[in-house]
């Protein structure tokens, strides 16, 4: 979790602890008995140490995984492999698990149209591993006819086992160093590879510009903002959707918008995510960075699904209202949402979709009552599904049946996606797509909404609104403004 201390001595101790972690781990590796497992193509060795053994219990009290990830980041990776710039961060909604990863031990990537094969490779790579070995990543929302240049550093689909991973669960923090070796490799070769990569990272870090761990956040000035689609184009898209509803070709479609703000200097995505975490209770936080110039992060309320062995849980979320600081008014807003015909129809559409998918995926499932999910600045209609998966239902099948949900795509699903590709006006990339972690033993995927893509000095902020019969263009435009407001608050025009 995040800790800020304005005492200068404490800050110096904290920063210096980061400088010693890599060296301490490198020196300790020959004494660590690694966790070893195999896939059909690699042997994996993970060297793990409690963090207090590397930096001391006193310093650990003020340790932040995001600060560590920001500090370890190499700003000049010339002469290094591309893996040096890869970062991941994950904190689940209940704040019971948090992890930060740097570099790549092993990556499985390919076309988003072949996600089934990629996930089966992840299962193969983790079948013999313990459940805490996780691959992190995701996939595009859909495969567009022409990909947008803003997503050029992101593969269509990728899942990464980090080289370095610092995780926290039940208040215990571990640092892991993982290497993937050819089958038949010796333990000595793994020691050598791990030490060599750590030493190179130490040297690069020592030559890099160190981040400023300021305890205060100031909104980042920006010089321009543009919207895609524009308001005129948005109105045309809404009109086109309403015509499809009247012809009974569509029941619902979720139209999104990309708001782009251009700043005067490069933007640090970790700084922005750190600020969002302070204001985003009951949200899953994620960050994925491929290369040095593009990072995708968000604090999403929407779980796509969670799997523990053969047990699956998922949620139906739809309908949006603002929050109020006045408790009585806040409850009145919630009651209005619960009794809104338009929003209940939208939510029912999501429920029917999930129930139909779980009919195919599970032996049996249950549906919870419709309630209100209250977040920091908005509230939604919400219902929980739990079920027992069929023996033939793996993560590939689950994603195939659940993504995209009507909450981010529409119904019927195929026709809604076709409508989006024709009328939305931009490539969603990884926005509203499944991102998360997965292994042979479990998985957790969220829907990547309330999200932003950072490319150099530019931030692309995404949000969408569910369009059904009776929707009005101006109201739906304003709904997106409400949803996107927490991200816009990070910037100042």
Same domain, 166 and 245: no
1 lies in a domain? no
Long-range contacts formed by 13-20: CB under 8 A, 24+ apart: 13/59, 14/59, 14/62, 14/63, 14/67, 14/213, 15/71, 15/210, 15/213, 17/55, 17/56, 17/59, 17/63, 18/67, 18/68, 18/71, 18/72, 19/205, 20/54, 20/55
Same domain, 114 and 247: no
213 lies in a domain? no
Same domain, 266 and 406: yes
Same domain, 156 and 199: yes
Give the helix ranges, DSSP H, for 362-453: 395-402, 413-423
Same domain, 113 and 246: no
Whether residue 345 is predicted with pLDDT greater than 90 in this model: the reply is no
Same domain, 121 and 180: yes
Q: What is the pLDDT of residues 384-403, one digit of tens each?
A: 999 999 999 999 999 999 99
The predicted pLDDT at position 169 comes to: 83
Residue 233 or residue 342, greater confidence: 233
215 lies in a domain? no
Q: From the candidates 302, 346, 424, 479, give the one annotated as an active-site residue.
A: 302
The tally of domains found in the chain comes to 2
Q: From the candidates 87, 193, 252, 483, give the one annotated as an active-site residue.
A: 252
Query: Among 186, 207, 228, which residue terminates a domain?
Result: 207
Under 8 Å between Cβ of 484 and 473? no
The predicted pLDDT at position 10 comes to: 36
Average model confidence (pLDDT) across the chain = 89
280 lies in a domain? yes
Same domain, 487 and 352: yes
Q: Look up the domain containing 282 and give its range.
A: 220-492
Same domain, 148 and 256: no
3 lies in a domain? no
The predicted pLDDT at position 76 comes to: 45
Whether residue 12 is predicted with pLDDT greater than 80 in this model: the reply is no
pLDDT band at 56 (very low <50, low <70, confident <90, very high): confident
212 lies in a domain? no
* Residue 388 designated active-site: no
Return the closest-CA partner of residue 319 out of 331, 303, 335: 335
Same domain, 119 and 224: no
Average pLDDT over residues 50-77: 78
Same domain, 375 and 265: yes
Q: What is the pLDDT of residues 65-115, one digit of tens each?
A: 998 898 886 554 444 455 557 999 999 988 899 999 999 999 999 998 889
Q: What is the CATH number of the domain that holds 275?
A: 3.60.120.10
Q: Within 10 Å of residue 266's Cβ, how many Cβ atoms?
A: 11
Same domain, 306 and 373: yes
* Residue 252 designated active-site: yes
The predicted pLDDT at position 8 comes to: 35
For residue 378, what is the enclosing H or E element? strand 378-389
402 lies in a domain? yes
Query: Among 146, 178, 207, which residue terminates a domain?
Result: 207
Query: Among 167, 183, 207, which residue terminates a domain?
Result: 207
pTM of the model: 0.91
The tokens describing 483, both together, are 């949803």
Same domain, 353 and 297: yes
159 lies in a domain? yes
Average pLDDT over residues 332-343: 95
Residue 207 or residue 434, greater confidence: 434
């Amino acid at each position: 979790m995040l800790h800020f201390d304005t005492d200068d001595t404490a800050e110096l101790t904290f920063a210096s602890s980061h400088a010693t972690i890599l060296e301490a781990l490198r020196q300790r590796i020959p004494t660590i008995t690694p966790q070893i497992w195999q896939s059909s193509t690699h042997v994996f060795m993970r060297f793990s140490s409690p963090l207090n053994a590397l930096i001391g219990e006193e310093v650990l009290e003020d340790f932040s995984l995001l600060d560590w990830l920001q500090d370890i980041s190499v700003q000049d990776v010339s002469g290094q492999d591309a893996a040096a710039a890869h970062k991941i961060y994950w904190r689940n909604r209940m704040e019971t698990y948090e992890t930060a990863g740097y570099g790549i031990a092993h990556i499985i990537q390919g076309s988003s149209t072949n996600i089934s094969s990629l996930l089966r490779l992840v299962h193969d790579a983790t079948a013999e591993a313990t459940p805490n070995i996780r691959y992190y990543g995701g996939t595009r929302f859909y495969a567009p006819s022409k990909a947008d240049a803003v997503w050029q550093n992101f593969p269509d689909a990728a899942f990464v086992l980090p080289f370095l991973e610092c995780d926290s669960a039940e208040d215990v923090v571990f640092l892991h160093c993982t290497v993937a070796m050819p089958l038949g490799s010796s333990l000595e070769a793994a020691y050598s590879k791990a030490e060599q990569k750590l030493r190179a990272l130490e040297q690069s870090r020592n030559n890099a510009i160190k981040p400023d761990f300021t305890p205060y956040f100031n909104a980042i000035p920006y010089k321009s903002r543009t919207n895609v689609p524009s308001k005129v184009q948005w109105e045309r898209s809404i009109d086109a959707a309403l015509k499809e509803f009247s012809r009974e070709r569509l029941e619902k479609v979720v139209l999104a918008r990309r708001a782009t703000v251009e700043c005067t200097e490069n933007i640090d995505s970790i700084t922005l995510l750190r600020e969002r975490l302070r204001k985003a209770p009951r949200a899953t936080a994620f960050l994925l960075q491929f290369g040095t110039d593009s990072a995708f992060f968000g604090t999403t309320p929407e779980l796509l699904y969670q799997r523990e062995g053969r047990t699956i849980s998922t949620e139906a979320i739809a309908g949006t209202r603002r929050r109020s600081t006045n408790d009585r008014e806040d409850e009145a807003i919630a009651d209005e949402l619960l009794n809104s015909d338009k929003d209940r129809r939208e939510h029912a559409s999501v429920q029917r979709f999930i129930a139909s998918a779980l009919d195919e995926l599970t032996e049996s499932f249950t549906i919870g009552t419709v309630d209100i999910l209250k977040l920091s600045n908005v509230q939604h209609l919400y219902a929980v599904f739990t079920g027992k998966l069929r023996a033939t239902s793996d993560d590939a099948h689950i994603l195939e049946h659940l993504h995209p949900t009507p909450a981010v795509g529409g119904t019927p699903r195929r026709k809604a996606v076709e409508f989006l590709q024709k009328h939305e006006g931009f490539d969603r990339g990884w926005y509203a797509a499944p991102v998360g972690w997965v292994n042979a033993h479990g998985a957790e995927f969220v829907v990547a909404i309330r999200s932003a893509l950072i490319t150099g000095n530019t931030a692309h902020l995404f949000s969408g609104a569910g369009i059904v019969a009776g929707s009005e263009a101006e109201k739906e435009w304003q709904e997106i403004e409400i949803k996107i407001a927490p991200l816009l608050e990070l910037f100042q025009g």
